[in-house]
Amino acid sequence: MTAPVFDGGLELRAAGDGTRRLKGRFPYKKRAVLDSGGNGRRPKKEEFAPKAFSFAVDDPERDIHLLIGHSFDKPLASKKAGTLILDDTDAALDFTAILTPDIQRTSWAMDFMAAFAAGLIGGISPGFRVAPPEAVANPEETTEEDPSLGNALIRTIFAAVLFELSMVTRPAYDETEADLRHFQFDPVPRNGIIHPLNRWRL
């Protein structure tokens, strides 16, 4: 049985060994509007440069999880477990997740597969923080938008520490079917997470 294929490239297929294979991609160089501006505020947009996630993807000691809704209590696969296979190219971060029979029997995986089959899963959302400048030179920059396109501030991320990829119901990136969740540790809010619409740094 094959689930629907979404515009964002998400695809769930049954395999002959009892596992299910979930494939998807997070394209680079696609912009999301984080703040549409107004009331004296300029619009703010964000994009990832090619291979922005290689800082974590290429580190054999760093684990990356596939989650549901950014909840580490609802894991589907992980890099260190050998069930999350990542392919980082100049065009996109592609992944294949192997959903084992044991994972498929969990309540959260069953809920996810039902929501996916119903077309309710809207995209991929990476949980990340910008790499520290002492580890990576120029991990991000803010530039002016082309005046012919608008007057937004454009934040480009060149190096991000990726912790997880999540299946989400409502993506912020309409074109790429991907949402963003930025884990910002300086300063640290009480719950350790800054909402994606409040994470802009200048």
| Residue range 143-190, pLDDT digits in tens | 999 999 989 999 999 999 999 999 988 655 444 343 444 443 333 333
Beta pairing class for 44-48 and 153-157: parallel
- Alpha helices by DSSP H, listed for 22-148, are 54-57, 101-104, 107-117
Helix (H, G, I), strand (E, B) or coil at 55: helix
In a domain, 195, yes or no: no
In a domain, 159, yes or no: yes
Say which amino acid occupies 3: A
In a domain, 194, yes or no: no
Is 27 or 105 the better-scoring residue by pLDDT? 105
* Count of structural domains within the chain: 1
What is the span of the domain harbouring residue 42?
A: 11-182
pTM of the model: 0.78
In a domain, 2, yes or no: no
Neighbouring residues of 120: CB distance < 8 A, sequence distance ≥ 6: 169
